[in-house]
Amino acid sequence: MVVEPSRKIIHVDMDAFFASVEQRDNPALRGQPVAVGHAGARGVVAAASYEAREYGVKSALPSVTAQRRCPNLIFVPPRFEVYQQVSRQIHAVFSRYTTVIQPLSLDEAYLDVTDNKVGLPTAWLTAKAIRADIFRETGLTASAGISYNKFLAKIASDHRKPNGQFAVTPDMGPAWVETLPVARFHGVGPVTAAKMKRLGIETGADLRAQSLDFLRRHFGSSAEWYYGIARARDTRSVNPNRVRKSSGSETTFDRDLTDESEIETGVLRMADDVWNWCERRRAFGRTVTVKIKYADFQQITRSRSQPTVVTVHDQLRQAAIDLVRSVFPLAKGIRLVGVTVSNFAEATAAELEQLPIFAAPAAA
């Protein structure tokens, strides 16, 4: 049997990132329950400070529910340009220590520090140095999980939050996993956790006790993943070249809309948001999808794949409009619309020439 060499992987996760940035920039918010988002009837919490989390306020919670749980909750509108700028600072810190970085979002990433660039002898010391640099340069705290695979590192980063770190060594990994609730496992969402509970699986030990055949019968293609993580196994490498598969934007309206022109305006606004991302990243896709959620929460999607990548703004707008018009006339109001571009591909030189950022300057 070939034994893979042990890797040193760190999962860095900023602490309440959006809310912490707001508290950093506005001293009056420090120590207060803060929610990043909008307080309207259709608002949703994008992020919550630790003071707000004590009341059960968390991301994706409807704003009215959050206010009910925490009457003193302070809502702050998001400033994504600021969060992106801070994220660039954080990722610049990562790059000092390793070239093998897999960003997961603005505020978290996997780092493979098996061969770190500064010569620190352990991943523990490397994580401490990274967190210290982040705090010194941004005024924000980060937590870190250190282990020999990505699965364990991600779980470990939550273990000493906020502003802490935790290591899971090879000799403790399998036994540690057995003590944890499966609901904490990456890849086990709320629906799967509920299904596992119905099957008598609530801890890592319960999951490990199941045969692979049993897991295949109940969880299909995910069975091998669950079988492996129950034994603290994860062979995935930190992938710095992970390709993003889609880009999307959605909005929940202040009221249910039945007017077709208002709905189209909302769809065009989401298409413009997506286009701005595609143009900035020079990433273009062939498939356009419109997501619709009705007033009764029924959700549908409409998609269309183009013969070539969408490299023209108006082409994306027209595709989105055509898709939303396919559900007209409406039988009920719409509360949410979203637009996504996926099926990314390399644009040809001819296609890229149509983009303003690549166009040759006009003759004087």
Nearest to 80 by CA among 162, 139, 30, 21: 21
Is beta strand 165-168 parallel, antiparallel or unpaired with respect to 142-147?
Answer: parallel
User: Is the CB of residue 52 less than 8 Å from the CB of residue 33?
Assistant: yes
Q: What is the DSSP string of 305-326?
A: E-SS---SHHHHHHHHHHHHHT
Say which of 51, 108, 178, 346 is annotated catalytic. Answer: 108
Question: Degrees (nearest 5) of the Cα angle 222, 193, 170?
Answer: 65
Q: CA-based diameter of the chain, in Å?
A: 75
> What angle, 0 to 180 degrees and rounded to 10, lies between the N-to-C axes of helices 260-281 and 313-325?
150
- Spatial distance between the Cα atoms of 66 and 39, rounded to a whole number of angstroms: 9
Residues 109/127/91/30 CA torsion (nearest 10 deg): 90
Q: Tell which residue, 271, 293, 254, has the closest CA to residue 340.
A: 271
What is the rounded CA–CA span in Å between residue 141 and residue 131? 7
Tell me if 216 sits within 8 A of 189, measured CB to CB: no
- Say how far apart CA 260 and CA 141 lie, in whole Å: 46
Q: Rounded to 5 degrees, what are φ and ψ at 321? A: -65, -45
Q: State yes or no: is 108 an active-site residue.
A: yes
The rounded radius of gyration (Å) of the Cα atoms in the chain is 23
Indicate the Cα dihedral angle 218, 245, 184, 76, nearest 10°.
Answer: -140
The number of angstroms, rounded, from the C-alpha of 105 to the middle of its chain's C-alpha atoms is: 5
Nearest partner of 90 among 133, 124, 153, judged by Cα = 133
**Which residues are part of the catalytic machinery?**
108
